[in-house]
Structures are given as C-alpha cells and as structure tokens.
Homo-oligomer: A and B are copies of this chain.
C-alpha cells in the first residue's frame, strides 16, 4: 500500500481514535506490555539478526549499543508503559469554560492532533515509546524507524498494532513505513498528516523541514551552553560541566560551548582543563583561553588536547569529547553569545547570585534555561512526562521535551439555543463573558 493511501486511511480513522475512551487507550498500553513480555524470545531473536548485521556492516560500537533490545531494555519499556498508563488522560480537559451570554456557553477542550508521522533513529525502545505516547494521546501514528533495526521494529510493531486493535482501537491507529523512499512520499501527505516529528542528524532534520508543507516539530542542532559566572561555586561547576559534556556525548542536550567570566579565567581555566583532560575531553578555545591553559599546565603536557580557534568558531555541535571555550565580560555578554550562536535548546548558568541567574533565565531565548545544574536534564523522562516523542527547539506549539501535552491541541465547543450574531451586532443582546473555571 502506498504511504498516501495509508495516510488517508489513518486520517479517516483519526476521528474515532480521538473519540476512544481513556480506558481503551490504557488497556492498549497494558496489552502491549503483556504481548512484549509474552513474545520476548521471538523479539530477542529478531534483534539478534539486526545485531549480527550491524557487526557485519562494521557499525560503530556506540550505535550498536543502541540497537540492542534485551531483558534490560524490555524491562525499561514496560516500566515506561506502566508509567504512561498512570498519567492522567490528556484528552477532554476543559481549559476554558465561559458563558458568552445567558445560554451561550463556550468550552475549550483538549483533543488529539490527528495523524502524526514520526521518523526516528535505530532504537527499538524508541519505537515502543513513541507508539505508546501516540496511543495515550489519541493520535494515529505513522512510524518510520532506522533501517539498522528493521527486524526488531517489524516484530515490535506487529505486537503493538495487534494489541491496540485487540482492545478496540481502530485498525489504522498505527502504521509502519520501512523503506527510506517512503519518507519522501510521507513528506507529500500534507492533506492527511497533521504533524511530522523527525529525529536524527542535523542534516536529516533540516532536509525534512525544507521539503514538506506539513508542520514539523523537533530540533536540528543542539548547541547547548554553560556560562560560569565570576560569583560561583567551584565544587559544583566542574562536576556539572563534566556531566554535561561526557555523560552521554552524542545527546542533543550535551554541552558544546563553555562561556567563562573573564575575571575567574586565570584561576578556573587550568583546573577546568585538568578535569576535562582526565575525561579525555579536547578543548577548543580562543587564544586567550589556550594561552591561560598552556601557561598554567605547560604547552607540551597538553599538546593535542587544546586547540586555538577564532572568536567566531562557536557554531559547531561536536557530539564528541570536544568542547568550545570562550571568555566573556559578564552575564550579558554570555546571554548575547547564546542567543546568537545557540540553538534555543538548553543553556545553564553556574552562579551563586540568584538575581543574576534569574536575569539569565529571563533573557536567554531557549526551551530550557537552567541554574546550577547539568544541561543533560533536558529530557521527557527526567521531566516526568513518562517519555518524550522528541525535543523541540521551535517556539510554536511545544517547546523542549515533548510528551503527552505536546501531542494534543484543542477545539472550541459552543452551545447555544438559536443565537445569531445579528442580535448582538444590533445591540438587541450583548456578551457578558463570565468565566466558570
């Protein structure tokens, strides 16, 4: 079946998906969990095929690690399903309840977006998370996972889909695309698909954004910053920086640029460089940064670990054990740098001055603005959303980690008794706008 026909069928089923009860949607999550556990041997066997192919194709070990779907990952996804089941229903919430006039009542009520296309990296646990978030939020989801886990995705998708339909959700609540060519077909389905969520490399996400009329939610770059103020606690600064850079280097919320107040540079930079060096993190700094580090630690000792770059070389998302370092005069210079060079993802300030922290958090135009903690906290699970379907650096609709709330919209219901606008325009009747919430 072509993606267009599939998407059309999903659009047709989206109204009944939206009307499904939360009990049915929760029953689907339970059924999925049970089906995954019951069929785990078969799932693991399919995953072995993917793992073998990955080794044969000499795929990088860091990537291979993500392909793995074992007992441990199964337990994680089942915990996630259970957590999601416990979250309150995101649908049917009344967010505005207003009498426009006697007997003319307006309600704004949350509802699903409709049909969502999600294109994600080769991670079998991501398939389960995304499908379950879409089910809980009453959306139909067209899923395209990475090709390196095609066998695992196929069995996981079959079990998830069978479970959803078995409890009464519509046939086309979920569909899977398997070939890369189908992505281009999907991009043309603006008549049937309400939202696209692409996850993956910068170039891939930009390709999606530039080649479709469907609204796109997600992020291309993740250039996150930490600013170390001159009033700061050194005992927390270095551990936060090490965590933000090394805890999961390939993550979009890993730090890429450190901005250090010039007043503390002489004392702080050598200690920082030492700590980064112990974690095998390479420093790319402006000349004054590398001069200070080389002066304090000895040029020969840190050869190859420190590189001098220009003032304008701060637009790179390294996704590696490399960090950019630049000095600034004050918090305002840090804010200006971040708003110009950042990607509006997550930026943190390390300071003991709460007022300065508030100023930073107000002025930095990012989805996440942090005080005295690691940028790595920017994540739907850590925020308590159960899971996330992606992280948005856009400002329209949802921002930051996107959970159930970001997968809903609303509609206005107006209940009348024959009212016409003419009566109000002529002054015969008038609006009184009384909020009941």
- Could you list which residues of chain A lie within 8 angstroms of chain B, going by C-beta atoms? 14-16, 18-19, 98, 100, 104, 106, 113-114, 194-195, 209-210, 213, 215, 217, 233, 235-236, 239-240, 242-244, 247-248, 335, 339, 361-374, 376-378, 382-384, 394-397, 399-400, 409-422, 424-425, 431, 433
A411 touches B371 (CB 8 A): no
Q: Which residue of B lies closest to A400 (CB)?
A: B412
- Most central of A371, A374, A417 by chain B CB within 10 Å: A374
Nearest residue, chain B, Cβ from A433: B384
Candidates B233, B384, B409; contact of A395 at CB < 8 Å: B409
* CB-based contact A365/B114 at 8 Å: yes
Name the residue in A213, A364, A420 with the highest tally of chain B Cβ atoms < 10 Å from its Cβ.
A420
What residue in chain B is nearest A381 (Cβ atoms)?
B431
Which residues of chain B come closer than 8 Å to A382, judged between CB atoms? 100, 421, 424, 431
A339 to B11, CA, bound (A): 10
A15 contacts across to B, CB distance below 8 A: 335, 339, 362-365
Q: Give chain B residues whose Cβ lies under 8 Å from the Cβ of A19.
A: 362-363
| Residue with the greatest number of chain B CB neighbours at <10 A, chosen from A14, A239, A413 | A413
Distance (whole angstroms) from the CB of A272 to the closest CB of chain B:
15
Is A18 a contact of B247 with CB atoms below 8 Å? no
- Are B396 and A247 in contact, with the CB atoms below 8 A? no
Whether A421 contacts B215 in the complex (CB less than 8 A), given A19-B362, A416-B370, comes out as no
Q: Residues of B contacting A240 with CB < 8 Å?
A: 418-420
Give the chain B neighbours of A361 by CB distance below 8 A. 411, 413
Q: Contact at B215–A394, with CB atoms within 8 Å?
A: yes
A411 touching B215, Cβ below 8 Å: no
Task: Find A372's partner among B395, B412, B418 (CB 8 Å cutoff).
Answer: B418
Q: Give the residue among A335, A369, A382 with the most B Cβ atoms within 10 A.
A: A382
Taken together as a complex, chains A and B put the C-alpha atoms of A263 and B366 apart, in Å, by 57
Whether the Cβ atoms of A418 and B236 lie closer than 8 Å is yes
Shortest Cβ distance from residue A155 to the other chain B in the assembled complex, whole angstroms: 28
Shortest distance between the CB of A188 and any CB in chain B (Å) = 13
A399-B419 in contact given A18-B362, A100-B383, A365-B15 (Cβ < 8 Å): no
10 pairs of A and B residues whose beta carbons are closest in the complex? A373-B416, A236-B418, A243-B420, A384-B433, A376-B421, A397-B397, A215-B396, A370-B414, A373-B419, A395-B409
Task: Report how far A409 CA is from B399 CA in the complex, Å.
Answer: 8
Q: How many angstroms from the CA of A373 to the CA of B418 in the assembled complex?
A: 5
CB distance from A337 to the nearest CB of B (A): 13
A103 to B395, CA, bound (A): 28
Interface pairs (8), CB distance under 8 Å: A15-B364, A19-B362, A100-B377, A195-B395, A370-B415, A371-B413, A378-B414, A384-B433
> How far, in Å, is A234 (CB) from chain B's closest CB?
11
In the complex, which residues of chain B have a beta carbon less than 8 angstroms from the beta carbon of A373? 104, 414-420
Complex: how many Å from CA A364 to CA B411?
10
Are B399 and A396 in contact (CB-based, < 8 A)? no
Structural contact, B425 and A247, CB atoms closer than 8 A: yes
Q: What residues of B have a CB within 8 angstroms of the CB of A210 in the complex?
A: 213
Pairwise interchain contact B399-A410, C-beta atoms closer than 8 A:
yes
B395 x A412 contact (CB < 8 A): no
**Which residue of B is nearest A420, CB measured?**
B243
The answer to whether A233 touches B409, judged by C-beta atoms less than 8 angstroms apart, is no
CA of A377 to CA of B364, assembled, Å: 39
